[in-house]
Structure 1
Amino acid sequence: MRDSVSRVMRIQLPIWLVVPMVALALVAGLGGGYFGGVFLRPSSSGPESADVCTRFENFWKTWDLARDEYVDPSAVVPQKMIDGAIEGMLDTLGDNGHTRYLPTDIAKAEREELSGKFEGIGAYIDVKNDQPIIVQPMEGSPAEQAGLRSNDQILKVNGEDVHGISVSELRNKVRGPKGTQVTLTVQHAGETAPVDIVITRAEITSPSVTWRMLPNQVALIHLNQFAERSGDELKQALNDARQQGAASIVLDLRNNPGGYVNELVAAASQFLPVDTTVLLEQNRAGDKTPYKTAAGGVATDLPLVVLVNNNSASSAEILAGALKDAGRARLIGEPTFGTATVLRTFNLNDGAQVRIGTTQWLTPKGEVVRGKGIQPDELVSLAPEVAPLTPANAAKLDAQALLSSDDVQLVRALEVLKTLAGH
């Protein structure tokens, strides 16, 4: 199996993790170089062709003009200019939000998040049309306890307007040491007046898997990301569910941004027979390498429905595609995000990292997913103001209330499982 540096992730990440699309230095491969902390201008003997080196002179001309002529000298910050140049370069690859640079502090934060322990408020965020929103507060997190809801619009942070802010900038404003407070001014969906919510940051231990038993012996299992030990957590949850009499499973992959490939395969191994292909990894030469399940799956026989939405990305959609191709599960919800590259992490100086999509993944049947996503078997859309029910919240409802809830995707999953049980 590939080592843990190979992973699949989307930009849609927790607020304490989101990485800025920035970079540290222009590399020698563009006709420049870096030596002893000093950037060298390209020369005709650079590693690229003479034509590329000549064209690259325009970069340095623009650099000099911005440095010497811009009306506000204080705005000329070399590091920011370099970061912006690298961001633009990586954007041309068409793998936005995936192939990216992680500065030292962001790389450290992401490693902490994937270890399952971090400090922050515990909420997934996104920015849509320049408007920061709460995608979903984590179950039991300070964000949830303080009253943040899915689809809340974040208007201000500590009184400062954040409309048009980048995800990385928002992260830096909201994140902080445990015990400190941050005030978010939010607009709840369906309400007219914004409210100020004061949240005390905390150290959060974030399990990848939460689950509850629902009526009719249905286990609702939410896999929120593919972090370290996610496969083990899922296996434990499935074993516990079976011991409590689970007769069928709803696997909720909604808003799952992805994670480690090896944890994805471990998760798939719980539902599929040994030696089943989970994905095909295709390199730039077109060669394909299959990833296959391991033995020991504990839920290969239980009826299974998988919930997906537009924020199900990378490893989450690979798992959904594998279960669909194998005929193992029925997919309900919305098309997934359509991330299709597998990242390889390259360590740089001072703990920084660059992640490059060195391969792309295909479904077990060889279908390309980039830009298209995985299509559900049943298209069921959730209203914008409706948040998916967490296992804990769903378990508070009796059978009738559950089937009358606004989470129509979960409702449809329960209806399908009831039909399967009848057969």
Structure 2
Amino acid sequence: MEEDKKQQEPNNASKFIKIKKFPFILGIVLLIFVTAGITAIALSFGDEKVQSFAPIAANQREEFDKLYSTYDTIKNKYYKEVDDNTLINGAINGMLESLDDPYSDYMNEAEAKSFHQSISSSFEGIGAEIQEQDSRIMVVSPIKGSPAEKAGIKPNDIILSVNGKSLHGMSSSEAVTHIRGKKGTKVELMISRGNASEPIKITIIRDTIPIETVYAEMLPEGIAKVQVTSFSDNTAKDLRTALEDMEAKGMKGLILDLRGNPGGLLDQAMEISSMFIPDGEVILQVEDRAGKKEVIKSENNGELKKPMVVLIDKGSASASEIVAAAVSEAAGIKLIGEKSFGKGTVQTAEDFKDGSNFKYTAAKWLTPKGNWIHKKGIKPDNAVALPSYANLLYISPEKELKQSSSSAEVKSAEAMLKAIGLDPGNVDGFFDQETKAAVTKFQKDHKLKATGTIKGSTTMKLMEQLREKILQNDTQVKKAADVLKKEIK
């Protein structure tokens, strides 16, 4: 992606011209690709991301008297000298924090630099998307194929600490500066997941995370599955290319997979929605603080006329929810999977001359029928969960599980072994002789040292096999294919 983040122009010059009035960020969070790691930090900008504004003189606004009085007192009477920028930045940050809005955030110069660096073709980091929620840092979704996904990071995981440093009370921008790092370096995260009694330590080796957002494959019986992982500069273009490729291979129906998609550029979401929605139908409405609504309509060129369904889950947020809601309400396309995340606000950003900046919520978006899905999510037409083993507890490769040990990790390992076709005995969290025998067989089958214990390469191979099992038995994709087959006939 280009650092300038210019609006993508559609085929006809007037297409989506109304969108340019909204310099909105629709990426739900920061991309932890981490150089920067969603930094990567990756938030998405609209066309007019920077606005200029003049400083306010103290004597012009009485409401600033307390602020300046406090500033003067600290500068003159605090027991040690305090840097001016520290006080000013703290005041700005305090104002934004008082909004109690996880999507409004101040970024100092270093954080803002990472923010802008996110607008490129690749990043170095772990590849996960985060947001601040209730003073905690929550994972929205890992990036497809990223180190975070391979290490077992899941949506809704809470990152408690990074390399021993607590993230409690940090903004997403600040947390990213601790999570990010150069390719090949190691980062240790302490994760809280669901009702797990103890935090999980996950060690991840940072890597380069390319911004590839469209993945297409042809399934049996002419059903194409196209996954869109986020909405970046070229997503609409790449989606068209993927659909053309699937058409050439005999596509009879389409599964558009938006699972784990945290959002991105508004213009891309609009352009993609317009591919599937009849010309002139409403895609979404953007409502400002005064209740004034801007209605965005489709300018469909008849690009796809095949049966179609859309997959969503709890990691589908923001711009992906715009697409899901639009095709559902305006085109009657079925949604399959799990209820989406529920982000119905849009943000804009402003830069300061010193290189710092802040983003704030500027409006809310509504579905074609005027529904606000914020904190509610979108319910699928067909609710389908993944197999239970898709949500198993992560096992740290550094922790040794051996005979006679007992823990939640042992129970998770037993469930993994059972899921891939081995018999560990009772899945009860106790590493007994049957568990050891199953582990030994697993190691021999995969040409690993047959120690009968789970650690290191055995742990990594076990989780890799589980991921393959989940892909092979994707119940949501299977349901989508069944629905399409009926429509195709």
Write the distance in 1 (CA, Å) between the matches of 2:42 and 2:71: 25
Task: State yes or no: 1:169 paired with 2:174.
Answer: yes
Task: State yes or no: 1:278 paired with 2:345.
Answer: no
Write the distance in 2 (CA, Å) between the matches of 1:359 and 1:135: 21
For residues 135-174 of structure 1, the aligned pairs below 5 Å read 135-144=140-149, 147-150=151-154, 154=159, 156-160=161-165, 162=167, 166-174=171-179
Paired amino acid for 2:364: Q
Deviates more, 1:9-18 or 1:321-330: 9-18
Q: Report the 3-state secondary structure (helix = DSSP H, G, I; strand = E; otherwise coil) of the residue aligned with 1:211.
A: strand
Please name the residue that 1:258 is paired with. Answer: 263
Q: Which has the larger radius of gyration?
A: 2
For residues 16-165 of structure 1, the aligned pairs below 5 Å read 16=37, 17=39, 18=41, 32-33=56-57, 42-43=58-59, 46=60, 48=61, 53=62, 55-63=63-71, 73=80, 78-91=84-97, 96-126=101-131, 132=137, 134-144=139-149, 147-150=151-154, 154=159, 156-160=161-165, 162=167
User: Shift of the alpha carbon at 1:370?
Assistant: 4.1
Please name the residue that 1:230 is paired with. Answer: 235
User: Shift of the alpha carbon at 1:86?
Assistant: 2.6
Q: Is the 8 A contact 1:214 1:394 kept in 2?
A: no
Aligned pairs, number:
384
Q: Which string of whole-angstrom CA distances, capped at 9 and with x for unpartnered residues, describes residues 181-221 of structure 1?
A: 4344567888989555240x333321122232333433222
Write the distance in 1 (CA, Å) between the matches of 2:259 and 2:31: 14
Task: State yes or no: 1:7 paired with 2:12.
Answer: no
For residues 239-258 of structure 1, the aligned pairs below 5 Å read 239-258=244-263
Write the distance in 1 (CA, Å) between the matches of 2:328 and 2:84: 49
Task: State yes or no: 1:318 paired with 2:318.
Answer: no
Write the distance in 2 (CA, Å) between the matches of 1:373 and 1:248: 26
Q: Report the 3-state secondary structure (helix = DSSP H, G, I; strand = E; otherwise coil) of the residue aligned with 1:97.
A: coil
User: Shift of the alpha carbon at 1:228?
Assistant: 0.7
User: Shift of the alpha carbon at 1:304?
Assistant: 1.9
Write the distance in 1 (CA, Å) between the matches of 2:185 and 2:98: 40
User: Shift of the alpha carbon at 1:318?
Assistant: 1.4
Task: State yes or no: 1:178 paired with 2:183.
Answer: yes
User: Shift of the alpha carbon at 1:90?
Assistant: 3.3
User: Shift of the alpha carbon at 1:229?
Assistant: 0.9
Change (3 A) 1:19 1:60: farther
Please name the residue that 1:332 is paired with. Answer: 336
Write the distance in 2 (CA, Å) between the matches of 1:287 and 1:131: 33
Q: Is the 8 A contact 2:128 2:148 kept in 1?
A: yes
Please name the residue that 2:219 is paired with. Answer: 214
Paired amino acid for 1:231: A
Write the distance in 2 (CA, Å) between the matches of 1:198 and 1:306: 32
User: Shift of the alpha carbon at 1:366?
Assistant: 2.9
Q: Which string of whole-angstrom CA distances, capped at 9 and with x for unpartnered residues, describes residues 14-34 of structure 1?
A: 2124489xxxxxx877xx44x
Write the distance in 2 (CA, Å) between the matches of 1:67 and 1:380: 60
User: Shift of the alpha carbon at 1:92?
Assistant: 5.2
Q: Please provide the CA RMSD for this pair.
A: 4.1
Paired amino acid for 2:20: D
User: Shift of the alpha carbon at 1:120?
Assistant: 1.8
User: Shift of the alpha carbon at 1:156?
Assistant: 4.8
Q: Report the 3-state secondary structure (helix = DSSP H, G, I; strand = E; otherwise coil) of the residue aligned with 1:254.
A: coil
Change (3 A) 1:67 1:197: same
For residues 189-204 of structure 1, the aligned pairs below 5 Å read 194=200, 197-199=203-205, 201-204=206-209
User: Shift of the alpha carbon at 1:316?
Assistant: 1.5
Q: Is the 8 A contact 1:334 1:379 kept in 2?
A: yes
Larger proportion of strand: 1
Please name the residue that 1:386 is paired with. Answer: 390
Change (3 A) 1:296 1:387: farther
Q: Is the 8 A contact 1:8 1:258 kept in 2?
A: no
Paired amino acid for 1:209: V
Change (3 A) 1:130 1:60: closer
Write the distance in 2 (CA, Å) between the matches of 1:249 and 1:80: 53
Write the distance in 2 (CA, Å) between the matches of 1:338 and 1:355: 19
1:303 to 296, 303, 307: 307
Change (3 A) 1:268 1:11: closer
User: Shift of the alpha carbon at 1:396?
Assistant: 6.1
User: Shift of the alpha carbon at 1:9?
Assistant: 2.1
Paired amino acid for 1:242: E
Q: Is the 8 A contact 1:19 1:102 kept in 2?
A: no
Q: Is the 8 A contact 1:186 1:197 kept in 2?
A: no
Give TM-score scaled by structure 2 length. 0.65
Q: Which string of whole-angstrom CA distances, capped at 9 and with x for unpartnered residues, describes residues 325-346 of structure 1?
A: 1133112344444433443443
Write the distance in 2 (CA, Å) between the matches of 1:395 and 1:156: 26
User: Shift of the alpha carbon at 1:129?
Assistant: 6.4
Paired amino acid for 1:323: V
User: Shift of the alpha carbon at 1:279?
Assistant: 1.6
Write the distance in 1 (CA, Å) between the matches of 2:280 and 2:177: 44
Write the distance in 1 (CA, Å) between the matches of 2:124 and 2:212: 14
User: Shift of the alpha carbon at 1:351?
Assistant: 4.1
Paired amino acid for 2:365: W
Please name the residue that 1:39 is paired with. Answer: none
User: Shift of the alpha carbon at 1:141?
Assistant: 2.8
Q: Is the 8 A contact 2:188 2:202 kept in 1?
A: yes
Q: Is the 8 A contact 2:102 2:132 kept in 1?
A: no
Q: Is the 8 A contact 2:390 2:470 kept in 1?
A: no
Q: Report the 3-state secondary structure (helix = DSSP H, G, I; strand = E; otherwise coil) of the residue aligned with 2:364.
A: strand
Write the distance in 2 (CA, Å) between the matches of 1:274 and 1:378: 27
Change (3 A) 1:104 1:195: closer
Write the distance in 2 (CA, Å) between the matches of 1:63 and 1:19: 34
Q: Which string of whole-angstrom CA distances, capped at 9 and with x for unpartnered residues, describes residues 46-87 of structure 1?
A: 1x4xxxx1x43333444456667778x58x665454344334
Give TM-score scaled by structure 1 length. 0.73
Identity %: 33
Write the distance in 1 (CA, Å) between the matches of 2:368 and 2:314: 21
Q: Report the 3-state secondary structure (helix = DSSP H, G, I; strand = E; otherwise coil) of the residue aligned with 1:326.
A: helix
